[in-house]
C-alpha cells in the first residue's frame, strides 16, 4: 500500500464525491476508461472493493466509506505541503529547543515566549530550565538549539555565538536578622567577612571566578558556607541563616520571608579600589548555521 501514488487516492476521492465515472473523469480532465482502470488498479493493490458498480449507479462500499475520511485528510495534508515548506524555510514553522537559566525566567523569558508565539504560532517551542554547564553538554550532543545563559560581562562560551540581552548588577541577599540588613547600601569592604552561599563553580565559572577575583583583589579569601545550584535554593538557604549570597538583581523579584536584598553603594569600591562585577544574560546558540526558526527567534530577541 505504501507505493500507491497520490494520484490514485485523488481519483478515488473525486469518484467517491461524484459517484459517476463520466463526471468524475471530466473533473479529473481525463477520459473514462483510464479512470476505470485506475480504480481497478487501486482496488487490486488494496485487495478490497471500494465501489459497487452497476450499469446505472456507482456506490461506495462500506470499506470505501470508512477509507474516504482518511484519504481526504491525506490529500489535504499533501496540498498543504508546499506552503508548509515555504513557512519552514522562512522560519515561520518548525521546532525550537530552548534552554534557560532560572534568573531569566523571573521576568524576561515569559514576555519573549509570549510575544514570539503570538507572531509565529506554528513554531513549536520546547522549554527546558537548565544551568549553564547542563546547557553546554546539551549543545555538545546536539540536543539544544539555543539557550539563555548567565555569565560575567563579556564572557563568550567557546564554540557558541551569543547576543547579550540583559545586564544587571549583583546584589547581596542577606538574612533579615544579620547586621548587614540594617545598612541601606553596602560596600565590598563591609561584606568581606560574611560567609557566602554560592553556586558551584561549574555552573557559572566566569561569574564565580569574577566574584572570587574581586575578593582576592581586596586581599580576602571568601568563606563559602554552602553551595547550591538554583538561585531560589540559594535564597532559601540565606533565609535559613546559612550565610549571604551575591545574586543577580532580577532575583529580587523572588521575595522570601527572612531575606532582604542590599545593593552596593553607587561608585563605591572595596579595598584597593576593587569593584564587585556585574553579570550578563546572553542568548547563545551553536556557531553552525542556525535553523530558520532559530534565526527568527534570534532576530526577535535582538529587537
Rounded Cα distance between 180 and 223, Å, is 16
Q: How far is CA 146 from CA 89, 166, 223, in A?
A: 18, 16, 35
> Which fold would CATH assign to domain 6-89?
Arc Repressor Mutant, subunit A (1.10.10)
Residue with the three cell numbers 556557531 = 287
The one-digit pLDDT tens for each residue of the chain (303 residues) are: 456 889 999 999 999 999 999 999 999 999 999 999 999 999 999 999 999 998 889 999 999 999 999 999 998 988 888 777 776 676 667 889 999 998 887 678 888 899 999 999 989 999 999 999 999 999 999 899 999 999 999 887 778 899 999 999 999 999 999 999 998 888 888 899 999 999 999 999 999 999 999 999 989 999 999 999 999 999 999 999 999 999 999 999 888 899 999 998 765 555 545 578 899 999 999 878 788 899 999 999 988
CA-closest candidate to residue 94, choices 166, 146, 30, 46: 146
Identify the pLDDT of residue 274.
Answer: 57
pLDDT at 30: 94
pTM score, two decimals?
0.71
CATH number of 170-277: 3.40.190.10
For 51, 204, 298, the CA distances from 152, given in Å and listed in that order, are: 72, 8, 21
Residue extents of the structural domains in the chain: 6-89, 94-161+287-302, 170-277
212 contact partners, CB below 8 Å, separation of at least 6 = 222
Instruction: For residues 101 and 296, give the distance between their C-alpha atoms in angstroms, rounded to a whole number.
Output: 21
Cell of 303: 529587537
Query: Considering the domain 94-161+287-302 in this protein, what is its CATH number?
Result: 3.40.190.10
Amino acid at each position: 500500500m505504501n507505493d500507491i501514488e497520490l494520484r490514485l487516492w485523488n481519483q478515488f476521492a473525486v469518484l467517491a464525491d461524484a459517484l459517476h465515472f463520466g463526471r468524475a473523469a471530466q473533473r479529473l480532465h481525463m477520459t473514462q476508461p483510464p479512470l476505470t482502470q485506475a480504480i481497478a488498479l487501486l482496488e487490486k493493490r488494496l485487495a478490497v472493493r471500494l465501489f459497487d458498480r452497476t450499469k446505472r449507479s456507482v456506490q461506495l462500499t462500506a470499506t470505501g466509506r470508512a477509507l474516504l475520511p482518511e484519504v481526504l485528510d491525506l490529500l489535504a495534508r499533501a496540498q498543504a505541503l508546499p506552503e508548509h515548506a515555504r513557512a519552514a524555510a522562512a522560519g515561520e514553522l518548525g521546532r525550537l529547543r530552548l534552554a534557560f537559566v532560572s534568573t531569566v525566567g523571573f521576568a524576561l523569558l515569559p514576555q519573549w515566549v509570549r510575544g514570539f508565539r503570538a507572531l509565529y504560532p506554528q513554531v513549536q517551542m520546547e522549554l527546558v530550565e537548565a544551568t549553564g554547564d547542563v546547557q553546554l553538554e546539551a549543545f555538545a550532543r546536539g540536543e539544544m538549539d539555543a539557550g539563555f545563559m548567565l555569565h560575567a560581562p563579556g564572557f563568550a562560551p567557546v564554540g557558541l555565538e551569543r547576543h547579550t540581552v540583559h545586564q544587571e548588577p549583583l546584589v547581596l541577599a542577606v538574612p533579615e536578622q544579620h547586621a548587614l540588613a540594617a545598612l541601606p547600601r553596602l560596600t565590598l569592604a563591609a561584606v568581606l567577612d560574611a560567609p557566602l552561599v554560592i553556586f558551584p563553580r561549574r555552573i557559572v565559572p566566569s561569574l564565580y571566578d569574577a566574584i572570587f577575583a574581586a575578593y582576592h583583589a581586596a586581599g580576602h579569601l571568601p568563606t563559602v558556607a554552602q553551595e547550591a545550584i538554583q538561585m531560589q535554593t540559594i535564597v532559601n538557604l540565606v533565609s535559613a541563616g546559612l550565610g549571604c549570597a551575591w545574586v543577580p538583581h532580577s532575583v529580587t523579584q523572588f521575595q522570601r520571608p527572612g531575606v532582604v536584598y542590599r545593593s552596593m553603594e553607587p561608585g563605591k569600591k572595596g579595598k584597593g579600589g576593587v569593584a564587585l562585577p556585574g553579570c550578563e544574560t546572553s542568548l547563545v546558540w551553536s556557531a553552525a548555521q542556525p535553523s530558520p526558526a532559530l534565526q527568527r527567534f534570534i532576530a526577535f530577541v535582538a529587537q
